[in-house]
Structure 1
């Protein structure tokens, strides 16, 4: 049977309702300082559900942001720890624009630092970041998010777009993988 695997135990950390309320608050906070030509850049793959909900919430705040995507990957030292590479780049014009990078989780800091530097060097007027989770771990790179959904314990989490081997992205909540 394709896709059959032993299911991991997942303990809910943040419910769908809690996430929805926090996304509305984040949209309000972003809208309070947004310029007229806001560009949202979602970092794939993990942020896709968060980004979709966030841009709908920004719409409810009266904003009409443009959205684009970038797909970043780390290579060179196993699945993490290597150099960050652009696998799919943004297509939108960045010069003179206010940009908010949307990512699922801030942990080592390497991906967010890379993305902020890249978009800044391309002429964005401002580059801010919004992360769903700020993991309580030591950063490899000194970077902080401008907007944070939740603090996250130093555990492996899935759901709401985040995965374990491309599984569990569909979960409407964020949970800790046990075991």
Structure 2
């Protein structure tokens, strides 16, 4: 597959890329500042893949203490951005979450290959592997300047809030 200047390969269905801005992304996720990481969806094809962008800034809450003398974007936050891209693709591939539903990460395997630092523009590509009942299996990778920084494989489960038991807080 060829990639464009933005690093996004043309849609596999031959159409122009489908995009989402930050405001639309917020309509697909329950996350909010400081835990909302995706800045833009560069392309998606329901049931197949989603490509998202994350611009790492020195002003991010996650960077403030990690580490003051040499800032590094935490791998756990990169995992969260990957999960958020998966949550959007899950909904696009099935249906939107109902008001009384949440998605939870069932499992996640990750491999981190390079550090991510302020100024990096991370492109996250997630691919739908399969949907089984209320479980979504997906995989993907994160790149900076066409160099892989991480690879992931995970699943998400859709649950009703009431089925999660009594709230302790």
The higher relative CO (CA closer than 8 Å, separation ≥ 6) is in 1
